[in-house]
C-alpha cells in the first residue's frame, strides 16, 4: 500500500536549530522544510548565517540545539560514521567548484565513485560520461580544470555531485563569480536537473535574480533568523523592510518562463 500523504516526511526538515561560536550566535531557532523535488533558496547578507546553515545540512557542523532530518533521519543525533552514510544521499556543489587541479575532468567526477563504490571500469566510464553529458560537457573528460572557464568548472562540480546519484543537492553560491549570461546558464541547468531527475535542492545565494528564477520557496535570513519565507512572489511582496531593501527592484520570473528550453 502506498504511503499516505500524512505519513510522508519532507526530504529535509529543520526544527529550531541554533548554532554559536565563542558565544556569538550564528543561527537562532531556524525552522524550515523542503519537500521532495523542491528547490529551496536561502538568501541573506554576509554574516546572516546562510553558509552555516548549509554546512549544518551537510553534517559538516553540528548545531547546539534543534534537529535536522534528512529523509527522516535526524543527523544531529548521529555519530560521524552514521552521518557519512547520510551524506551519500547528498551532493555538495561548492562555491568555487573545488576541483582537484592535478586531476582531469573525468578523474574529478569519478573521485567519489572510486572512493565509495567498487565498479568495473566500463560501469565507471558509463556513469561519468552520463553525468558529463547531463551538464553539457560530454567532450571535456580529458581536460584539466585550468583549461576550463569558470562556468565549465561549475558544471564539472555539479557532475561530480551527481555521480553518486544523490536525492538531494546542496549548492553554495552556484552563480558566484560568473557574468550574468553564464550565471543564467547555470540557473537553467539547475532547473533542467530538477525537472529531469526530480532532485531536491537547497541553494544558498545572494543573487536575487538567480533565486527568483530557480526557487520554489525562498528563506531570507537576517541576523541568524528567518526574516521571511515563502514563494518568490510572496518574498517580493513581503512587508518586512529589510527584505525589501535586500531584494531591491527585482521581481520573480513568471513560473511558465522558468523551464529552460533544451
Q: State the pLDDT confidence band at 251, using cuts at 50, 70 and 90.
A: confident
Other C-beta atoms within 10 Å of 41: how many? 26
Q: In this structure, what C-alpha cell is assigned to residue 48?
A: 546572516
Q: In this structure, what C-alpha cell is assigned to residue 177?
A: 563569480
pLDDT of residue 248: 81
Render pLDDT for 75-133 as a digit per residue (tens, 0 to 9): 999 999 999 989 989 999 988 778 999 999 999 999 988 888 888 999 999 999 999 99
| Domains of the chain, residue spans | 99-165
pTM for the whole thing?
A: 0.88
Q: How far is CA 213 from the centre of its chain?
A: 15
Check if the beta carbon of residue 141 is closer than 8 Å to that of residue 128. Answer: yes
End-to-end CA distance of the chain: 37
Other C-beta atoms within 10 Å of 184: how many? 16
Cα 185 to Cα 180: distance, rounded to the nearest angstrom: 9
pLDDT of residue 257: 54
Region at 97 (left for phi over 0; alpha for psi -120 to 50; beta for the rest) = left
Cα 258 to Cα 262: distance, rounded to the nearest angstrom: 12
**pLDDT average, residue stretch 64-75:** 95
**pLDDT average, residue stretch 251-256:** 61
Amino acid at each position: 500500500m502506498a504511503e499516505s500523504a500524512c505519513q510522508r516526511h519532507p526530504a529535509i526538515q529543520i526544527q529550531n536549530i541554533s548554532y554559536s561560536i565563542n558565544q556569538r550566535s550564528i543561527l537562532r531557532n531556524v525552522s524550515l522544510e523542503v519537500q521532495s523535488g523542491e528547490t529551496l533558496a536561502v538568501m541573506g547578507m554576509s554574516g546572516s548565517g546562510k553558509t552555516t546553515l548549509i554546512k549544518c545540512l551537510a553534517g559538516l557542523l553540528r548545531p547546539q540545539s534543534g534537529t535536522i532530518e534528512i529523509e527522516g533521519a535526524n543527523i544531529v543525533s548521529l555519530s560521524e560514521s552514521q552521518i557519512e552514510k547520510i551524506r551519500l544521499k547528498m551532493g555538495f556543489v561548492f562555491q568555487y567548484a573545488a576541483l582537484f587541479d592535478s586531476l582531469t575532468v573525468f578523474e574529478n567526477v569519478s573521485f567519489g565513485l572510486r572512493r565509495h563504490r567498487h565498479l568495473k571500469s566500463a560501469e565507471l566510464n558509463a556513469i561519468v560520461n552520463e553525468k558529463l553529458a547531463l551538464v553539457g560537457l560530454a567532450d571535456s573528460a580529458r581536460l584539466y580544470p585550468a583549461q576550463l572557464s569558470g562556468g565549465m568548472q561549475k558544471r564539472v562540480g555539479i557532475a561530480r555531485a551527481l555521480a553518486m546519484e544523490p536525492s538531494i543537492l546542496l549548492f553554495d553560491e552556484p552563480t558566484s563569480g560568473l557574468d550574468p549570461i553564464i550565471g543564467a546558464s547555470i540557473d537553467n541547468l539547475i532547473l533542467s536537473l530538477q525537472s529531469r531527475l526530480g532532485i531536491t535542492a537547497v541553494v544558498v545565494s545572494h543573487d536575487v535574480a538567480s533565486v527568483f528564477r530557480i526557487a520554489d520557496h525562498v528563506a531570507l535570513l537576517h541576523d541568524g533568523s528567518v526574516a521571511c519565507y515563502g514563494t518568490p512572489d510572496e518574498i517580493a511582496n513581503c512587508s518586512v523592510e529589510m527584505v525589501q531593501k535586500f531584494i531591491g527592484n527585482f521581481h520573480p520570473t513568471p513560473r511558465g518562463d522558468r523551464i529552460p528550453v533544451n
